[in-house]
Structure 1
Amino acid sequence: MRFTIDAYSKQFKMSTEMINSKLKAKKLNYIIEDGITYIIVKQSSVITSEEAQPSENPPKSPPPVKQKTTVAMVLSLYQKENQQLKDKIVQLESKIDKLINDKEQMLRDEMSRIEHVYSTKDEQLKNIIELINTKLSSEQTNTVHEVETLTSIEVEKAPVQEKIVELKDYLKTLDLESYQRKVIKKRFLAAYDEDIRVIKQNGKLYLNFSKYDYSDLLEY
């Protein structure tokens, strides 16, 4: 059988450009008569090509058969969904427990940190208080020691060297009433700023009979 290029294109569903390309490549048998190109094709190739073409009205496939829903299928579906929900609940409870444990651990750690801070502060405060008490005790001891030294040196040794006596002790040796001794003591206190005879140390008044005469101040 022979076909023109247009007829061959329709028969074998091929574009004319591809047919011309195959003709140039000598892949198709053809002849030219009166200026018209005819492609030579075997009869068996034409029959095979026709058989290969799909039918315009292919047979319709039967509609799918709908599967009937049974009670067992519904129960199985509910059981499956119920099991999935249970699994999710278990997972959520596990996550909640973990969050609670983590929160409690954080609180315990924070409490431990606060207790440690306060314990450290208390220890520092105790050390400061002990240091202050030690310093105060040392200063008090030194003060008492200085007073005792002053008393022992200036009072106890004074009678031997300069006859220095405390006014209070000296007034006790006189035959005077209590109010008279108070008057004399006030007289000495009034004269302290202007009279060099009056000696005052550590709040006490002293008399130096080896240097001065106090008859005018002691007169009553």
Structure 2
Amino acid sequence: MTGRLRAPTGRYGGRSAEERQAERRARFLGAALQLFGDRPGFRATTVSALSEAAQLSTRQFYEEFRTLEDVLAALHLQVNGWAEQAVRDALADAAPLPLDERVAALFRAYAGSVAADPRRIRITFVEIIGVSPRLEEQRLARRAHWVDLVCAEAAAAAARGEAAPRDYRIAATAFIGSVNGLLHDWSAGWVDASLDEVVDELVRQLLAILRPRDWNPGPR
């Protein structure tokens, strides 16, 4: 299949073509979350199996996507988008709070979104790995986006005198790697801890980066 088929146009059943397309796409992504994020996994899923799980036809699949890799790419972005929205909402609500409480709110929101469904963790940290150069580029781009978010929050905290003034790029990159690794290992059962304990550890790590022992904040 070299490209997507053309989807029907016009209104049907009181709904526009755009509304029907959005519904089909949502059903395919919901089915992909189940099959890619649980069993059998992305590599063992076929177009027929995904279409059957979505209760749609293979023709409708090719009206929305070219390949299963396109579905995985869209699902990966969707899961990341849910987590980012949760974090941004939490940061907006926590804006007037002290730094340690804001950091805790950030990670509770992120972990709460990603860990709300084990399948989201699998999509984010397992199924996306090693599929293709295109998806690896997307994965690294999303990771860089999270690094940018941490750097922006750290710079804002430093400007308020709550954190040490420095270039946080390397530290933020290392920290995001820790977040990904710890949440993956926790979800796989390799870390004997509650999610709250995992979040508390991540909060301690980030606060130690923002406020190193040799930092003297001076008078506020």
TM-score in same-fold range (> 0.5): no
Whichever structure has more strand as a proportion of its residues is 1
TM-score interval, smaller chain: under 0.3
Q: Higher relative contact order by CA 8 Å / sep ≥ 6: 1 or 2?
A: 2
TM-score normalised by length of structure 1 = 0.25
